[in-house]
Chain A
Amino acid sequence: MSLSTNPEPAMQQAEAAREPRIIAFLCKWCTYTGADLAGTSRLQYAPNVRIILVMCSGAVDPLYVMKPLLEGVDGVLVGGCHAGDCHYVNGNYKARRRIALVRNYLEGLGLEQDRVWFRFISASEGRVFADTINEMTESLRKLGPNPLAEEWTV
C-alpha cells in the first residue's frame, strides 16, 4: 500500500478554513464510551476532533500530547474517568499530574497551555462529551491557529 501524500483531505480542508484541529486521547472505559454514546444518541458536535482510543488516560505519555502540538495541531484533549472511577484505580489522577506538567512546559516555551485539555467524562455523559468538543473548538478558534504549524524547525 502506498501512503498518500494527501492522507487526510478533511483535515486539510479544515486547515484551509483555519478551523481548529483537535486530537483527543480518550480512555476506553469512560470518555471513549461517552463519545460513542454521543454518536449513538445522534448528538451533533463540531467535526474538528480526531479521536484516538487508549486503555486509560494514565497511559497517555506526555510525548503523545506534545507530538501533535509540535506538528501543528491546535489542541489536544485527554479524556478519562471521573475521580474515583478509574478502571485501573488511579490512572486518571496520575494523568492529571502528567498533563499539568506538559501544560507547564508548553506555557514555559510560549505556547498557550489552554491548547491542552484534560477532562473527566463518564460513559454515560454523551452530552458532556459533545459539549466539551464544541466548547474546546470554540476556545481554540478564539486562541487562533497553533503558531508551531508554521515552525519547520520545531
Chain B
Amino acid sequence: MTGAAQQTRLVKTEQACGELRAIARAALRSGLVVGALVPRRTSTTVIPALVKDPDRIGDDAYFGAPITPQNAASLLSDVTFRPPKGRVLAVLRSCEHRALIELAKLKQVDLDSILVIGIDCLGAAGPGPAPPHLLDETAWRARMAEGGAEAWEGVRRACGICALPAATTAAFTVGLIDVSPESGVLLSVPDDEDGSRLLAAVAAEEGASVSEPGGEVAAHAAAVAAVAEERGQAKARAIAAWRDDTGNFAALSEALAACTQCLNCRRACPICYCRECVFETALFESTGDRYLSRAARKGAVRLPAEVMLYQLTRLAHMGLSCVNCGMCEAYCPAGIELTMLFAVMGQEARALFAYEPGRDAGEALPLTVYREDELDPR
C-alpha cells in the first residue's frame, strides 16, 4: 500500500510453483487467519472453497489462477456479511480487491474479517470450461514471468484493457510479473506485527525459504508499469472506438439487440448486491392495452420492453462503483459487450465526482454524500 512502510522478500519453495500454497498454509498455521479462500483446480475450472486446515491446502490449490468463475468479492460478501470470529485469507487480483472495497462501502463485506493478499494478474478466464493452458500452473507462472501486455487466449475481454495488473490497493501483495519461477515470488508485507508474523511463518514452512530480494523488486515494478502503460493505451483506444461507434442511443440499442433482460449481468456483477433488483419486481408489469398504447406512440414497442432502461438504471445505480471486471459480459448469454458500456459511461460519470472505485475504503460513495458548494442549482 502506498505510503506505509513495506518489507519485501523473495519466497521460494522446493516444490515448483508452491509459493502461494506455502504462504497460505503459513498464514493459517500462524493464526493470522482462521480460514482461507482457496481456488481448487478441477479438470475444467477452479472451484472457490473455504479451507480451515492448512494441511488441506493441497496441490489442487491454485492461488492466483487465471480463471475467475466469479468475482471473489461476491463470495467474500457471503462469508463476512455476518462476520466470522477471526480473519479469512483471500488472494485477490486488482478487480476483485477493488470490488471488495466498494462492497465494504455498501456495507456488504467486513474488511476487518479479511486478510487480502493482492496478486498480479494479466487476465483471467470467466465462467465455463477454461482452456487447458490456463489450468496449467507452470505455464501460467511462466506467462506471468514473461510479462508483456498482450492478453492470453481465453481470458475475459475486459482483461485486455485492464491497466491495473498489480493489486496495489492491498497491504500484502505477491508479485509475479517479470519474476522468474526459479527465483520464487515477491512477497511484500507491511512493516508491522502482522507482516513480520507472516514472514516468520512462511520461513518456518517446510520446503520454503525467505530471502532478501536483489534486482527483482525494481524489475518487477518496471514491468508492471510497462504493462499498465500499454494496457492504458489499449483502453483509451477502445474507449475512443466505442465512443465513435456505439456512444449514442441508436447504436446502443443495436448493441443491446440480443438482450433478453435475463439479469445475468446483474447476478454476475460483484457490485449489484440488492437481494431483489427493481427489475425483478412488479414495477414494470403492464397491461396489454398499455403495451399497445406504447406501440401506438412509437409505432412499435421492443419486447422485452425495458432493456435500455435496465442498462441505464444499472449504470445509474452501480456505474460509479464499477471496477470494470467484465463479469457482466462474461456471463451474458447473448454476448453483449457490456464491458465497454460501463468502462466508457462509468469513466465519464466518475470524473464528475473525481471518484475512483476501489481506490480507498475510507472514501464515501459519491451518491451518499454532497458538498453544499457544488453543481447547480445552489
Contact = CB atoms under 8 A, between A and B. Distances in A.
User: Is chain B found bound to chain A in the same assembly?
Assistant: yes
A109 interface: yes
Interface in B310-367: 312-313, 315-317, 319-320, 344-345, 348-349, 352-353, 366-367
Interface in B258-285: 278
A52 B302 CA distance: 26
A97 B294 contact: no
Given A5-B296, A153-B257, A148 B249 contact: yes
A66 interface: yes
A2 B289 contact: yes
Contacts of B367: 94, 97-98, 101
Interface of B: 247-250, 252-254, 257, 278, 287, 289-290, 292-294, 296-302, 308-309, 312-313, 315-317, 319-320, 344-345, 348-349, 352-353, 366-368, 370-372, 374-378
Interface of A: 2-7, 61-63, 66-67, 70-72, 83-84, 90, 93-94, 96-98, 100-102, 104-105, 108-111, 118-120, 147-154
Given A3-B287, A71-B294, A63 B352 contact: no
A85 B73 CA distance: 40
B144 to A, nearest CB: 36
Nearest to A111: B249
A6 B290 CA distance: 10
A108 B249 CA distance: 9
A110 B253 CA distance: 13
Contact of B297 (A3, A72, A84, A154): A72
Given A97-B366, A97-B375, 20 more contacts: A3-B289, A3-B293, A61-B316, A62-B316, A62-B317, A63-B313, A66-B313, A70-B309, A93-B372, A96-B374, A96-B376, A101-B320, A105-B312, A105-B319, A108-B345, A109-B247, A109-B248, A152-B299, A153-B250, A154-B308
